[in-house]
Amino acid sequence: MGEILVTGATGNVGRQVVVQLLAARVAVRALVRDPESAGLPEGVEVVGGDLARPDTLEGALAGRDTVFLIWPFLTTEGAPAVLEAIGRHARRVVYLSSSGVNEDGERQTDPINQLHADMERLIEGSGTEWTFLRSNTIAFNARGWAEQIRTTRVVRGPDIAATAVIHERDVAAVAVRALTEGGYTGAKHVLTGPQVLSRAEQVHTIGEAIGRPTRFEEVPVEVARRQMLADGRPPALVDALLAGAGTRPESSLITSAVEEITGAPARTFRSWAEEHADGFRS
């Protein structure tokens, strides 16, 4: 097996993929924009490169057989050039997609799911072998509430349909299997946690983990948009994040894919909250 290249290696899932590959004694190379500040574990080869600049990827891809791909942009502009560069070196791509992708729909329910659907089509047409990991909402996203919980114990934002939140370590564990074992080519695995939770239930669970009362307070989308823009978030990102608030359909979907692939049941959101409790305490 050739060495694996992990993109998004400093993010919440990519970092876990790197850690778990190292634990499995698999040689891994991490692509990061700034190697000096990556803070990745000893034993990983850290190389500089930027998916926004395909010409910077050749050195990172040289000799790589398999790529774990996280696409960090809001459009597929630039993706064909990146996939072409990958195809010159690697034979296989494992792509982190979204459980919200609906193959039967002509258009997706929101811009983020549309992005993932478009990326899947590009990868399918790229000529490389592929595996899609369609992940549900990742638990680590709740870290975005940390400041509100530390200061007011109240999370204010638009409500979004409940979802079976999945621990990022479970997503990474499945990715490691797909990256290192055969039998996953052409597969589309939908990954979820074991329980469908609303935002209010997630916030309450974090409160129980830190031993303090917490609650979720729904605010209109426009109010949330003004606050997010005032916080300095790019307008395109704000629109993409909020688009699903009114259009994302409710889903009771829970899959057994994590346990079937890894041999261990999916972790609960409560376990995630207990692991990260210190980050929510004032």
pLDDT of residue 1 exceeding 60, the answer is: no
What amino acid occupies position 200? Answer: A
The predicted model gives 65-85 an average pLDDT of 96
Mean pLDDT score of the chain: 93
pLDDT at 246: 65
> Measured over all CA atoms, what is the biggest interatomic distance in the chain, rounded to whole angstroms?
54
pLDDT at 232: 81
Residues 251, 161: Cα–Cα separation, whole Å = 7
Alpha helices in the chain (DSSP H): 14-23, 58-61, 79-87, 111-124, 146-151, 168-180, 199-210, 221-230, 235-247, 257-262, 269-275
pLDDT-derived band at 230, boundaries 50, 70, 90:
confident
Radius of gyration of the chain (CA): 19
Residues 82, 103: Cα–Cα separation, whole Å = 24
Domain covering 3-136+168-191+253-266 assigned CATH 3.40.640.10 in the classification = no
Compute CA 116 distance to the chain's CA centroid, rounded to the nearest angstrom.
Answer: 11
pLDDT of residue 83 exceeding 60, the answer is: yes
Domain ranges of the chain: 3-136+168-191+253-266
Inter-residue contact 32 to 7 (CB < 8 Å) = no
CA nearest neighbour of 198 among 147, 158, 169, 230: 158
> Which phi and psi angles does 146 have, rounded to 5°?
-60, -45
> What are 20-66's pLDDT values in tens digits?
999 999 999 999 999 999 999 999 999 999 999 999 999 999 999 99
pLDDT-derived band at 2, boundaries 50, 70, 90:
low
Burial class (CB in 10 A: 0-12, 13-18, 19+), 270: middle
> What are 114-165's pLDDT values in tens digits?
999 999 999 999 999 999 999 999 999 999 899 999 999 999 988 888 999 9
Q: Which helix (H) or strand (E) holds 216?
A: strand 215-218
The predicted model gives 259-270 an average pLDDT of 98
pTM over 0.75: yes
